Amino acid sequence: MADTTRRDFLGAATLLVPSRLLVDVSPGDRTDSAGKPRKIIRVEALLLQQPLTERFWMSISPIGGMKPVAHRLIVRLHTDTGITGYGEGSGGGADVFRQGIADLVVGEDPFMVGKIWEKIFGLTYDRALVMRGWSRESVISAMAAIDAALYDVMAKSVGLPLYKFLGGYRDSVPVYVTGGYYREGKGIKELLEEVRGYIEQGFNAIKLKVGGITGGYSIQDDYDRVKAVRDLVGPNVRLMLDANQGWDLATAIQASNKLYDLNITWLEEPLHWYDDVDALRRLKLNTRVPLASGEGEITRWGARRLMETGAIDFLQFDCHAHAGITEWRKLAGMASMLHLWLAPHHEPHVHGHLLASVPNGFILESFANPARDPFWFEIYSRKPKIEKSVLYLDETPGLGIEFNQQALDRYGSKLL
Ligand SMILES: [Mg+2]
């Protein structure tokens, strides 16, 4: 085609196409969309709270604080055609639901999710935020639930499970279980009993807590705990470690290299809160253990720094806690371009659809202890099935979840 111009080529191609292909549109292929929702007419919001019966210590703090309480936000969007969508959040943002954030969504077209996302995000750099007395963090937490509910509406409207609506890649995703928390009186014997329980449930990937230096756990103590688990589970079970920002750089370099021979899939959030990116990059240059982080990032710009500095191997951005599915999808694209894996923090029933829609999804997090995560076990009457370390998605439209009304009544207080 050396002497052929692009125009000639396109002209020739046009001649080759039978014109009937362009006009013979089958009835199922028509672009009219009667029955699709055009408007969000009402928003409901519920805050669930449930005190935990014990403290599950990470390196420097227990889950849910010293008086631990599990939180969950549930948003339901009603549309003009009767289709409703559910979205969940980690509990932040309840205050802004009490103070009118839903007014920004009512009247909007649920398929204009990009517009709605920008409209709400725009508040975070607007005088209106201060005048309303809201915080950026609350708005970004509330966005997570609203955005997920919009995707639920859209996917239900076209009768597709969310992962297919997004452009499916697979229908099942690997799952790990998080455990190995520190607890007073919990020694290696008790840790191994816990891990044996996970193996009996069929898990082949387990994440353990490390980094408890300020709680009296030396590097050697953590090494002994992890080695005992490795010896118990053998070479074919994945082990991940989460230091929850418990170490300084020098300690993290020393600890990670000591732990390397235990075949660790990743070390998560190893470094203190105050310099967790540049120092993480230095750790990365000084350890052979892959690194994971990002659960605390609230926007794609924060997560970008983690990725473009080369500090991490696994991105853990949490669309359920921050900024929603719209933001997560943008990050998934960037992660792909940088050859990074996605291993999102918490909530496998939402992140499962997302990992199933991209090729660089690595694994989902789950919890197998009702005392640690009561809502997972109690509030759903339908959710994706997790069996033997795999989450299975089915053909149920949308996110594929239904709630147990009795549990919502028990733990929920209505915000809207
Ligand atoms: Mg973590």
Going from the Cα of 235 to the center of ligand 1, the distance in angstroms, rounded, reads: 23
Q: Which of 92, 88, 108 is nearest to 44 (CA)?
A: 88
Residue 264 exposed, middle or buried by CB count within 10 Å (0-12, 13-18, 19+): buried
- pLDDT tens column, 256-306: 999 999 999 999 999 999 987 999 999 999 999 999 999 999 999 999 999
d(CA 103, CA 190): 51
* The predicted structure's pLDDT at residue 414: 97
For the chain, state the CA radius of gyration. Answer: 24
Residue 137, both tokens:
């963090």
Going from the Cα of 157 to the center of ligand 1, the distance in angstroms, rounded, reads: 35
Going from the Cα of 178 to the center of ligand 1, the distance in angstroms, rounded, reads: 9
pLDDT for residue 19 is more than 90: no
* The predicted structure's pLDDT at residue 35: 76
What does the pLDDT average to over 102-117?
98
The region of weakest confidence among 12-26, 40-54, 108-122, 129-143 is 12-26
Query: 270, 291 in Cβ contact below 8 A?
Result: yes
pLDDT above 90 covers a percentage of the chain that reads 91
Going from the Cα of 58 to the center of ligand 1, the distance in angstroms, rounded, reads: 9
d(CA 66, CA 68): 6
- Confidence band of 32 (pLDDT split at 50, 70, 90): low
* The predicted structure's pLDDT at residue 1: 41
- pLDDT tens column, 305-356: 999 999 999 999 999 999 999 999 999 999 999 999 999 999 999 999 999 9
Total count of residues recorded for the chain: 416
Residue 162 to residues 193, 253, 355, Cα–Cα distance (Å): 37, 41, 11
d(CA 151, CA 344): 18
pLDDT for residue 158 is more than 50: yes
pLDDT for residue 31 is more than 90: no
List the chain domain ranges: 40-159, 164-401
3-state secondary structure 33-66: CCCCCCCEEEEEEEEEEEECCCCCECCCCECCCC
* The predicted structure's pLDDT at residue 182: 98
Looking at domain 164-401, what is its CATH homologous superfamily?
Answer: Enolase-like C-terminal domain (3.20.20.120)
Query: 98, 134 in Cβ contact below 8 A?
Result: no
d(CA 356, CA 373): 23
* The predicted structure's pLDDT at residue 339: 98
Query: 243, 269 in Cβ contact below 8 A?
Result: yes
Going from the Cα of 268 to the center of ligand 1, the distance in angstroms, rounded, reads: 6
Going from the Cα of 322 to the center of ligand 1, the distance in angstroms, rounded, reads: 15
* The predicted structure's pLDDT at residue 276: 76
- DSSP-based helix, strand, coil % in the chain, nearest 5: 40, 20, 40
Going from the Cα of 345 to the center of ligand 1, the distance in angstroms, rounded, reads: 7
* The predicted structure's pLDDT at residue 18: 58
What does the pLDDT average to over 28-49?
83
Going from the Cα of 51 to the center of ligand 1, the distance in angstroms, rounded, reads: 21
Architecture of domain 40-159: 2-Layer Sandwich (3.30)
The region of weakest confidence among 3-7, 95-99, 387-391 is 3-7
Token pair 């996302």 is at which residue? 117
pLDDT above 70 covers a percentage of the chain that reads 92
- pLDDT tens column, 199-228: 999 999 999 999 999 999 999 999 999 999
* The predicted structure's pLDDT at residue 14: 52
Going from the Cα of 281 to the center of ligand 1, the distance in angstroms, rounded, reads: 18
Mean pLDDT of the chain: 94
- Give ion ligand 1 contacts, CB < 5 A: 242
